[in-house]
Structure 1
Amino acid sequence: MTITFVVNQVRKESAGFTTTALALEAHKRGHTVYYVGVGDLVYLPDGSVGGHCRKMPDREFRSLRTFLEAIVEVEKKLVSAVKWDVMWLRNDPAVDMEKRPWAQDAGVLYGQLVGQQGTLVLNNPDGLIKASNKMYLQYFPEQVRPQTVITRSIADVQAFYRDQNHRIILKPLKGSGGKNVFLIDKKDNKNLKQIVEAICRDGFAIAQEYLPAAKKGDIRLFLMDGEPLTKNGKVAAIQRVQQAGEIRSNIHQGGTAKPANMNKAMQGIVEAVGPLLRKDGMFLVGLDLVGDKLMEINVFSPGGLIHANEFHQEDFIEEVITAVEQKVKNYVPNP
């Protein structure tokens, strides 16, 4: 098959990204692999969509690093999406929010056109538009969500802060990677107004109840087609633990990771959210869990799968590409 990975900017990809591991696994299996940045997508005069792509050289690679170095050095060439079997949207719109706002929606908008032309698009771009910010969490059953207020009103946040015994989490409605996430308690309440104002410069603020279990970090659980990603009875899940004095457990924010195993609370959350994720065409997602609550759903480019491979000594990346191959084999475009 021919698989095209859409990323924010090819030259800013990393050997540690899950996307790199997925692309290398596809290449190892003999598939044609393209990389394209969202800024290199194009609508062509014949009515089709394409991109100025980098094609992976037809040779073996010893590591993720050498694989990525090779793709970055390839000269871009215009390729029509008619030649693609899969367009995989792995760009994170939140990364482009400040410096490249024009790029935020480009992937899903082009993805919709590519899907209409008969190519399999992962994750489903219509579903991604619905899930384009943290409001998506509110579509899921109340029992698995933390109590939440989404607003631009400082008065709303202050009232919620009082109702939550003066301890809440504040973060932007749009964003990723733990950026602009704050824990507000009694010692910080004098800064509450300024923090809300700063967050609301770019949109709405989310105020969430603080979960004491968050002191132990969170769990990133990978789902594929609404079910836990598994291999040989092991589940692709990692526990991320924050640094001392830090509330964010994101690995690139200094958090550390260790293996996590499935438990009853996690299974209950999966059963609650899996059906809608399947309906919305969310092929591969990462759930961020604290205790028995779902904090976030990462639908664009969930990372950490390489860590899951290492901790559990299983190749979950292999399972994902096998599933993509099966999807292509069974894919019937909408008329």
Structure 2
Amino acid sequence: MKLRIAVQMDPLESVNIAGDSSFALMLSAQARGHELFHYDVRTLSYDTSVGAGGTLTAWAAPVSVQRLAGDHFSREDYRLLDLARDIDVVLMRQDPPFDLGYITGTHLLERLAGRTLVVNDPVAVRNAPEKVFVLDYARFMPPTFIARRIEDVRRFHAAHPGDLVVKPLHGNGGKAVFRVPADGSNLGALTELFGQVWPEPFMVQPFLPSVSEGDKRIVLVDGEFAGAINRRPGEGEFRSNLAVGGFAEAASLTAREEEICAALGPDLKARGLVFVGIDVIGGQWLTEINVTSPTGIVAIDRFNGTDTGARIWDAIEARHAAMG
């Protein structure tokens, strides 16, 4: 069945086609004969005076894509689309920050429930920010502390002496992640900085030397393991994110990682979180559950000879068919 798919994402002009998971998903959908539209979340509007229960619209443009650098998409004129009547699937793929704008988008998309399939489910995305949802699985995590006051952070540091890692609660791509030396010499300054820049608390964890062995990105599709890559820090870095200079290598799962996937899988599927990327350091420490705009499928498929995009669309098509 041909589906009409609206992709809510950042501008196509800025996409890195060599590794972008959203672009790979668009290519995969197009190969199946699905019709693609692109729109910016800022064009969403909701009108209670039209239609039963209100109408959610977006200014969207039909697009076609190809893996050709410098000429990777073509776009027709933007038009006003009723996301309940004109669209079968909304693919929510814009990058964080996970701020009030992002959250409001999920509130609006939630109103499509029962009419248009939204992937990942906007209610689940809103209720499962990557560094908060993961707390449900604390048994797999390193010691973790969320706070704002320097006095509280120093208390945690005293209980876990050694280097620390401090990171924003709703950051992404390894941005603004800091390593604090064991003497805590810059801990006060960092606490002040985080308090001035972000209104929410921040996360503190002991630095894990095993990060040198890699920070594994594991992709689950509808709760099932679909593939993994190991990301290692680049020269002079402790962060392994590909966006900050890390490099990828082929990977399989450890017994501990299989246990983590088995524990998470049923919950992810039940929540409508079709495409999820989890991060595991050193083969044992779960640090994030990425549900907003997970990445990594291009590298996974390159190393493993798989087609994760097709697997994701299989799951989406099955969910859409089940809606009746």
- What TM-score comes out, normalization by structure 2 length? 0.91
Q: Do structure 1's residue 288 and structure 2's residue 286 form an aligned pair?
A: no
Preserved contact between residue 277 and residue 289 of structure 2 (Cα < 8 Å): yes
1:174/1:246 CA distance change after superposition, 3 Å: same
1:143/1:244 CA distance change after superposition, 3 Å: same
Q: Do structure 1's residue 260 and structure 2's residue 256 form an aligned pair?
A: no
For 2:271 and 2:311, how far apart are their aligned partners in 1? 21
Task: Look up the match of 1:107.
Answer: 105
Preserved contact between residue 162 and residue 207 of structure 2 (Cα < 8 Å): no
| Equivalent residue letter for 1:190 | S
Q: CA deviation at 1:178?
A: 0.6
Q: Do structure 1's residue 124 and structure 2's residue 126 form an aligned pair?
A: no
Which residue of 264, 272, 288 corresponds with 1:273?
264
**Structure 1 residues 218-237: aligned runs within 5 Å:** 218-229=215-226, 236-237=227-228
Q: Do structure 1's residue 146 and structure 2's residue 142 form an aligned pair?
A: yes
Q: CA deviation at 1:211?
A: 2.1
Q: CA deviation at 1:243?
A: 1.1
| Equivalent residue letter for 2:248 | A
Q: Do structure 1's residue 159 and structure 2's residue 155 form an aligned pair?
A: yes
Task: Look up the match of 1:182.
Answer: 178
Q: Do structure 1's residue 89 and structure 2's residue 92 form an aligned pair?
A: yes
1:6/1:310 CA distance change after superposition, 3 Å: same
| Equivalent residue letter for 1:218 | D
Q: CA deviation at 1:213?
A: 1.3
SS of match in other structure, 2:113 = helix
| Equivalent residue letter for 1:69 | F
Preserved contact between residue 277 and residue 291 of structure 2 (Cα < 8 Å): yes
1:321/1:64 CA distance change after superposition, 3 Å: farther
Which residue of 169, 184, 191 corresponds with 2:186?
191
Task: Look up the match of 1:233.
Answer: none
Task: Look up the match of 1:304.
Answer: 296
| Equivalent residue letter for 1:77 | R
Q: Runs of 5+ in structure 2 lacking a partner?
A: none
SS of match in other structure, 1:93 = coil
Count of aligned pairs: 313
For 1:262 and 1:163, how far apart are their aligned partners in 2? 31
Q: Do structure 1's residue 36 and structure 2's residue 27 form an aligned pair?
A: no
Q: Which moved more, 1:298-307 or 1:45-54?
A: 45-54
Q: CA deviation at 1:319?
A: 1.5
| Equivalent residue letter for 1:181 | V
Task: Look up the match of 2:60.
Answer: 53
Q: CA deviation at 1:247?
A: 1.4
| Equivalent residue letter for 1:253 | V
For 1:13 and 1:210, how far apart are their aligned partners in 2? 32
- What TM-score comes out, normalization by structure 1 length? 0.88
For 1:38 and 1:247, how far apart are their aligned partners in 2? 34
Q: Runs of 5+ in structure 1 lacking a partner?
A: 230-235
